[in-house]
Amino acid sequence: MSNEILNPILKGFNPDPSICQAGDDYYIATSTFEWFPGVQIHHSKDLANWELVAQPLNRVSQLDMKGHPDSCGVWAPCLTYHNGLFWLIYTDVRAYQDDFKIAHNYLVTAESIEGPWSEPIFMNSSGFDPSLFHDDDGRQWFVNVLWDHRPEASLNHHRPAKSFAGILLQEYDHEQKKLVGPIKNIFPGSDLGLVEGPHLFKRDGYYYLLTAEGGTFAYHAALFARSKTIDGPYEMDPQGHFLNSWQVPSSSLRRSGHSDMLELPNGDCYLVHLTGRPLPYRGRCVLGRETAIQKISWSEDGWPRLAQGHVGPTDTIEGPFGGSAPESFQSQSLDFANDQLPIDFQSLRIPLGENNLSLTERPGYLRLKGAECPTSKYEQSLIARRQQAFCFTATTDVDVQPETIQQMAGLISYYNTGKFIYLYVSHDPEQGRVLEIMMANMSGGSMSYPLGQRIPLPAEGEIGLRIDVDFDAWSCAWRHNGGAWQRLAIELDYSILADEFGAENFTGAFIGMACHDMSGARLAADFRQFSYQEREFMSRQQRAEDC
């Protein structure tokens, strides 16, 4: 078997990876921001093939995000395994788009990766990107970014480094369940600025501090510093950033930076890192920030280097065990015969209970009960999965009878409350049941309706909805009671569903089902099936012929 690993190992929105080993098992935790449950944990036996196995923050007592702005919520978790326990550190960010950040750091633990996970232990609120290091003398140390809200800005040639004020270190006492002792700023970062994402390691008598810098967009990078004592002083790698996509334009993995390192029992080291794959010719990452892996070698003077000999990440690496399966397209078809959704479906900010979602009230259907509008940051009846390939087709069939203009249900391509494309069934006072498209593209918070007119639908029966995405082209079709698809003569710019469009955000594109009822009557929409099929690119003519 080949031992080649294909990147990215976690496709679609899976940023800020943290990796750990427990016996023969490997786990990666990634950020989820405003999506609930919080934190995604993938499992592997070979570092090449990964399966989503846990979303540990699954109770409101652990994570209450109602009202959180877009791209807040869970930032940069840190997962470790020590003394028979899994330790998960995470930040709950409640605001970030002004001089202040409201960021609270917590710890939860579990004996099994599947849980149950404990109630959270509060750590601090001085910044974000927390990490926990278990030293070989039995002590535990907590690091996080210090956030400085003051106006003084340390400028560099890329962007202001204002507010990223260094890496704080403090001891953690698990018996007392709190941080104890002095707080020390151990590392200010390099001239690139925006130091974040700290992780500590120990090797050959040195403490190594791994950080990300340059911001999470084009100039993202990773840097090591080291010290003989845990509280410094830390000297930076004399060769500078060892991982940096912008210096290697030929690399298809862009935005590479935020990282974590794993040392195997035989001494081999691997680095998991955030990356992004832009749309061809557009520079926008609709797939969000993904996770890739690189092999690490060590220089003669004890500094980590990418094994390929340069700072650019590569699409394939040599793995320690077997290899990954040949790259293939994912396929998911749901008929809602089971009493729970697959683990890869998430909701916005809050769990969807019987008040919003039911798989039993109408057997064989997913029932969503309409809640607030598509721009609500409080309560939406929306359930969705990540887009994980550039080209895909998604379909659903919905049985719904809107009675007012404030009621709607359908299939949604969603990035956040300001960036989405919604294909839905609604009501028109003159035409009755109609098909509509609503689009949000950050233009002052107002919606656009690119169809220009509502399409009358049959008064009874299921309406099938279909969305086709081909890189930056979004198109759609509909059908009645499982009949032939009728394609709409419209093609929209799908690239708006990206971090780089409009205000800077940090998530990725989702596809899912939604029901909204601004009247408060809680309209019920019954979805009979949902499918997500990744595929090769289809031209406009091919899409028309496919229907």
Where does residue 344 rank: exposed (0-12), middle (13-18), buried (19+ CB within 10 A)? middle
Token pair of 476 as six digits: 């759609």
Closest CA to 521 of 351, 350, 406: 406
Closest CA to 357 of 376, 334, 341, 373: 341
* Nearest-angstrom CA–CA distance, 479 and 397: 9
- Give Cα separations from 256 to 244, 276, 519 (angstroms): 6, 7, 45
* 37 preceded by a cis bond (ω within 30 of 0): yes
For 204-288, strand residue ranges (E) read 206-213, 221-227, 235-236, 259-263, 269-276
Catalytic residue among 34, 92, 129, 196: 196
Chain length of the chain: 547
- Residue 79 CB contacts under 8 Å (≥ 6 apart), including other chains: 18, 19, 20, 27, 28, 29, 41, 86, 87, 88
* Nearest-angstrom CA–CA distance, 81 and 21: 7
Token pair of 511 as six digits: 């596809």
Residues 231, 186 contacting (CB under 8 angstroms):
yes
- Residue 209 CB contacts under 8 Å (≥ 6 apart), including other chains: 143, 167, 186, 187, 198, 199, 200, 224, 225, 226, 227, 234
Q: Which helix (H) or strand (E) holds 509?
A: none
Strand partners, 51: 43
Closest CA to 28 of 6, 2, 8: 8
Q: Say whether 16 is catalytic.
A: yes
* 458 preceded by a cis bond (ω within 30 of 0): no
* Nearest-angstrom CA–CA distance, 516 and 432: 17
Give me the DSSP letters along 125-139: -S-S--EEEE-TTS-
- Give Cα separations from 195 to 17, 104, 232, 305, 507 (angstroms): 16, 19, 16, 19, 20
* Nearest-angstrom CA–CA distance, 285 and 312: 18
Catalytic residue among 16, 470, 500, 534: 16
User: Tokens 């009822």 belong to which residue?
Assistant: 517
Residues 409, 357 contacting (CB under 8 angstroms):
no
Residues 151, 134 contacting (CB under 8 angstroms):
no
**Phi, psi of 520, deg, nearest 5:** 90, 0
* Nearest-angstrom CA–CA distance, 67 and 377: 5
Which positions are catalytic? 16, 196
